[in-house]
Structure 1
Amino acid sequence: MIVPHYDDLQNLSACLDALERQSLNDGKTFEVIVADNCSPIAEHEILEVIAGRGRLVRVEERGAGPARNGGAKLAQGEVLAFTDSDCIPDAAWLQQGVAALANCDVVGGRMEVLVGSEKSKSGAEAFEQVFAFDNEKYVHSHGFTVTANLFCRAATFWDVGAFRTGVSEDVEWCRRATSKGYKLAYCQGALVGHPARRNWDELVRKWRRLDEESFALHRDEGKSGLRWLLRAGMVAFSIFPHAFKLAIAPELRGFGERARAFATLVAIRLWRAIHYVRLAILPKS
């Protein structure tokens, strides 16, 4: 199991606790590799948190993709299982994901959005509970799985090649895999919990990074600026059908919670549409 990490010791410890509880019971053994991406903390502090629950590798090249690559290079097992240091894998996660590889080459598991308190959700948390990490849709409709919940054989990974950085690495890597003929499948039982973004600033940081990586991949694939601008319009228009989704979402309770989620929906989609236009007009060199 490969866990990229950057300056988040509290969540890393909780993730390692969850990995220790894995119910893999078919006689197979597993290892945990923490791939630290040059955190601004001493190595001994990270090792104190790991406390023998995994092996540490320090990866100098910046980015979650290079960190995962560094962990994969150190891994000795036949199967690679990727999650993130702020995630909480279910006890059956590893068993379910490995079993699913019997029928495919790459597995994406189910993601669950975790909130701090069901009684006092922020608008960002309520929004993320409904819209974040729909990995079943990503796998079935968009042909990729998030790297917070990805399984493949080590031989498959190295045949496809390492994760790239600066682009949407999960999308790009899965497209390379399927273009080589590898089969991607979804596993409902391989569950990973991921914390919701708690406030506006965290939500904007997330989408700034994701949209910039998506735009980089768009350009890398030789697609037109006009097509990107059409996507900006679709992001803004998506407010209308998704407002209805919020109205009936079982994850939300009461008018206040839905109203906060709706306000966040409108604000983040309009922000993203404007950000899309800025990326197209003023692309990074």
Structure 2
Amino acid sequence: MTARLPVGFAVEIDRTTRRLDRGAVLLGGSPPRLLRLAPVARELLAGPRLRVADRRTAGLARTLLDAGVAHPRPATGPTAAEVTVVVPVRDNPTGLAALLAGVHGVGAVVVVDDGSRTPVRVPDGVRVLRHARSRGPAAARNTGLAEASTPYVAFLDSDVVPAPGWLQPLLAHLGDPAVALVAPRIVAGAEVGRGSVGRYEAVRSSLDLGRREAPVVPRSRVAYVPSAALLVRRAALAALPSWPGFDESMPVAEDVDLCWRLHAEGWRLRYEPTSTVGHAHRTDVRSWLGRKAFYGTGAAALAWRHPGLVPPVALAPWTALACGLALTATRPGLVGAAVVSATATVRLSRALPQLEHPVRTAVGLAPQGLLGAGWQLASAAWRHWWPLSAALAVLSPRSRRTILALGVVEGLADWFVHARGQAGLDPVRHTLLKRADDLAYGTGLWVGAWRHRSTAALRPHLRG
């Protein structure tokens, strides 16, 4: 999908994008990439924003967006009257009532009752479709999608409540004809936050993708968006191969699958955190851990449908080797890690001949790669690979000390990044709950791998 951006559409350089060589090169995106600007492009991009005025500026703006170094600033978008809101629900009348009370001014509202024990009740003007028996949320959403006649459809689960003004920031993104899907930030609802699990979920929910806007691209910082709240271009979903919409054979991870199928068809997807919806996070320990494990079971099916997109870690070979040597916690291992890192830095500088200062840039980039690799491995040791870590801990006292140290350091780092300065948990309880979160997800991951008789979701990916 290469539709041209409309006149008046603007893009803004991401605040983390670095300008090198006096603005001739941009370094940014996820994963990071270098863009060398032609003289004309450099002149057009003298400031932080670029506004589309003709074919040339439209092409440059599209390149910057697709590289992830800039974000859209649309001028106009569709109206709320062009949106049908679809709500799948099963046995949640209280949540449904709260949701419908927060939806105003849209073209239509369709509630799909997915086999509730007691038929749902809705206000006048809301249409109800009913499944005689539960067919799952994917099927319920597809039933509503088929009923919609508007160009755009918003899917809202019955356990979310949209904040005032939630729809307009999402609609603006659809002013780009290449965007098929845009999602808001999902934050803790007003009733969440009591107790340790509630406070942890308020800052570390699997559904909350953070404060930074992003393109939705597999194996990037925002690889997918959850289906609890989505705005989609109806024609894009209807034209998808295999399933015109959500894959009804998937009881979990159908939202990830939808994002990746749209991406494979060339559509753009966006995450817009200025739009928020509140979600009733699970705070009972048993249901919370069960939900985490349930999410984990979906990885094996995703790995089968989308090969190479679900690795537990994705590392450059040199970072894998350097981290492996460092984790031996021996003098030869640490020396070897330093030698590997220095060699990789030199090789990286030689791969950047187009820069004025390739060595300086490589010296800045290599430690970031090593730190990111270490973070991935520490997380995977307690999440994706915890049965292997447990076996190593039993067999080797040195491995046991290393694994425990990784768990503590990664947990404290996670608290520092996500929870520091907020009215949440202290570092110790946050770390303990992070480890429980990871162990539950990892358990589901291994269960799913066993059911599918596949280790694809457990194998690391080493890339150059």
**Alignment match of 1:253 (pick from 423, 429, 450):** 423
Residues 35, 71 of structure 1: 8 Å contact kept: yes
Unaligned runs of 5+ in 2: 1-84, 314-376, 387-405, 455-464
Deviations 1:148-203 (A, max 9, x none): 22112111121122201234111101111111111111223321111221121121
Report the counterpart of residue 9 of structure 2 in structure 1. Answer: none
Residues 301, 452 of structure 2: 8 Å contact kept: no
1:98 aligns with 2:171: yes
**In structure 2, the residue corresponding to 1:19 is in which secondary structure?**
coil
**In structure 2, the residue corresponding to 1:271 is in which secondary structure?**
helix
Residues 114, 194 of structure 1: 8 Å contact kept: yes
1:134 aligns with 2:208: yes
Aligned equivalents of 1:251, 1:210: Cα separation in 2: 29
> 1:177-192 residue pairs with structure 2 within 5 A?
177-192=262-277
Residues 232, 277 of structure 1: 8 Å contact kept: no
1:107 aligns with 2:182: yes
**In structure 2, the residue corresponding to 1:184 is in which secondary structure?**
strand
Q: Which amino acid aligns with 2:204?
A: F
**Alignment match of 1:143 (pick from 223, 229, 238):** 223
Bigger CA drift: 267-276 or 83-92? 267-276
Cα distance, 1:283 vs. partner?
A: 4.4
Aligned equivalents of 2:144, 2:309: Cα separation in 1: 35
> 1:118-133 residue pairs with structure 2 within 5 A?
118=193, 121-132=194-205, 133=207
> 1:1-285 residue pairs with structure 2 within 5 A?
1-20=85-104, 29-41=106-118, 43=119, 46-47=120-121, 50-52=122-124, 54-59=126-131, 60=133, 62-103=135-176, 104-114=179-189, 116=191, 118=193, 121-132=194-205, 133-135=207-209, 136=213, 139=216, 141-160=221-240, 161-164=244-247, 165-221=250-306, 233=381, 235=383, 240-247=409-416, 249-250=419-420, 252-253=422-423, 258-281=427-450, 283=452
Distance 1:38 1:183, change over 3 A: same
Report the counterpart of residue 347 of structure 2 in structure 1. Answer: none
Unaligned runs of 5+ in 1: none
Aligned equivalents of 1:131, 1:12: Cα separation in 2: 25
Residues 84, 148 of structure 1: 8 Å contact kept: yes
Q: Which amino acid aligns with 1:54?
A: V
Deviations 1:218-239 (A, max 9, x none): 23445699x6699963625676
Bigger CA drift: 139-148 or 178-187? 139-148
Q: Which is helix-richer, 1 or 2?
A: 1
Bigger CA drift: 8-17 or 75-84? 75-84
Aligned equivalents of 1:90, 1:166: Cα separation in 2: 28
Q: TM-score, normalised by structure 2?
A: 0.52
Residues 113, 140 of structure 2: 8 Å contact kept: yes
**In structure 2, the residue corresponding to 1:105 is in which secondary structure?**
strand
Bigger CA drift: 3-12 or 97-106? 97-106
What is the aligned-residue identity percentage?
A: 25
Deviations 1:44-72 (A, max 9, x none): xx12xx12252111134521111100111
Aligned equivalents of 1:234, 1:53: Cα separation in 2: 50
Higher alpha-carbon Rg: 2
Q: TM-score, normalised by structure 1?
A: 0.82
What RMSD over aligned residues (CA atoms) do the two structures have, in Å?
A: 3.0
Aligned equivalents of 2:407, 2:139: Cα separation in 1: 33
Bigger CA drift: 257-266 or 155-164? 257-266
Residues 295, 444 of structure 2: 8 Å contact kept: no
**In structure 2, the residue corresponding to 1:186 is in which secondary structure?**
strand
Aligned equivalents of 1:284, 1:61: Cα separation in 2: 28
Cα distance, 1:246 vs. partner?
A: 1.8
Residues 257, 302 of structure 2: 8 Å contact kept: yes
**In structure 1, the residue corresponding to 2:107 is in which secondary structure?**
coil
Aligned equivalents of 1:220, 1:198: Cα separation in 2: 32
Q: Which amino acid aligns with 2:110?
A: I
Cα distance, 1:284 vs. partner?
A: 7.6
Larger RCO: 1 or 2 (CA < 8 Å, sep 6+): 1
